[in-house]
Copies of this chain bind each other. A is one copy, B any other.
Amino acid sequence: MSFSVTILGSASAKPTPSRHPSSQIVNVHEQYYLVDAGEGAQQQMARYGINPLRLRGVFISHLHGDHLFGLFPLISTLGLYGRRTPLDIYAPAPFGEILECHLRYFDRDLPYEVQWHETNTTRHALLFENRTLEVWSIPLRHRVPCAGFLFREKEPPLNVEKFKIARYGLGIAQITAAKRGEDITLASGETVPNAELTYRPYAARSYAYLSDTNYSAKAARLCAGVDLMYHEATYAATERKIARERGHATSEDAARAASEAGARGLIIGHFSSRYKEESQLVEEARRLFPQTEAATEGRTFELPENRIKK
């Protein structure tokens, strides 16, 4: 089952000719979630072949324009495309008022419903849940209320080992019961424990999005064991002071957060326009956390399925 992150935007607030402001698509089992929506998000989706009608939800970290201005054109376009499915948007207050302005002046007759869910940026709370996924808020330290997001895949259903089916001569009903986690009693009267028959096809995966923020030990702790972390790295390590003051992180802050969390991989982004090349920032982060990659626009980071025995 797919679990991936596609970068749509990697810039901070000042636009550059080549980088778009913050935005990305998290694909969990072919359901798409838009995380932040800087200007141009919808065109970037079109460029990278992401059908906006498949958007299941939108998660906005905070109400700065470079994380939000791309959402309103997208809302309009989904109307032009005739979307019927409601669109759920998770964002801090007063997003509802901003949305109301937009709908009043631009989208009075939208063919679908836009549903705002207020995120409390001071709490680590479950925002969204379906059969395969949970999304949790991660309180961050920015100049305005801001929360990142932790995407936690649920454990996949149990599979029954094929060679065990043959060995014990299991029937359909027994296989179904084993998948539910039950122990199985054979015709001989022998009981086979569930653990003997079944396995998880892969370990549940997780992805954390932390932007915009100062380094936060608490946020790192809340992401413990995450497979992949995106952490903003607006500035180089030497600009620690500016980063602190502006509620942003350096390359080293990002690496430290990934390291503290025990993440397997780190993507850094939200690069200040002063860095024409992000290689300096990546190199700095890699010194502390070697598995660092730049948030190159258009790049998709796959979270592989790692099979585990139960």
Contacts and interface: CB of A to CB of B under 8 A. Distances in A.
A77 interface: yes
Contacts of A105: 63, 94, 97-98, 101
Nearest to A106: B65
Contacts of A66: 73, 76
A20 interface: yes
Contacts of A101: 98, 101, 105
A94 B64 CA distance: 24
A109 to B, nearest CB: 12
Interface in A76-95: 76-77, 80-81, 94
A260 to B, nearest CB: 32
Nearest to A39: B73
A40 interface: yes
Interface stretch (A41-49, A164-172, A194-202, A263-271): A41-49
A132 interface: no
A119 to B, nearest CB: 16
Given A72-B69, A98-B105, A105-B98, A77 B15 contact: yes
A39 B70 contact: yes
A127 interface: no
Interface string A12-31: 01111100100000000000
Oligomer copy total: 2
Contacts of A15: 42-43, 46, 73, 77
A248 B70 CA distance: 25
Most chain-B CB neighbours within 10 Å: which of A20, A80, A97?
A80
Interface in A97-111: 97-98, 101, 105-106
From A42, A63, A65, residue with most partner B Cβ within 10 Å: A65
Contacts of A47: 17
Contacts of A64: 106
A15 B94 CA distance: 28
16 contacts: A13-B77, A13-B80, A14-B80, A14-B81, A15-B46, A15-B77, A16-B43, A17-B47, A65-B73, A65-B76, A66-B76, A69-B73, A97-B105, A98-B101, A98-B105, A101-B101
Given A13-B77, A39-B40, A66-B76, 9 more contacts: A14-B80, A15-B42, A15-B77, A39-B39, A40-B40, A65-B72, A69-B69, A97-B105, A101-B101
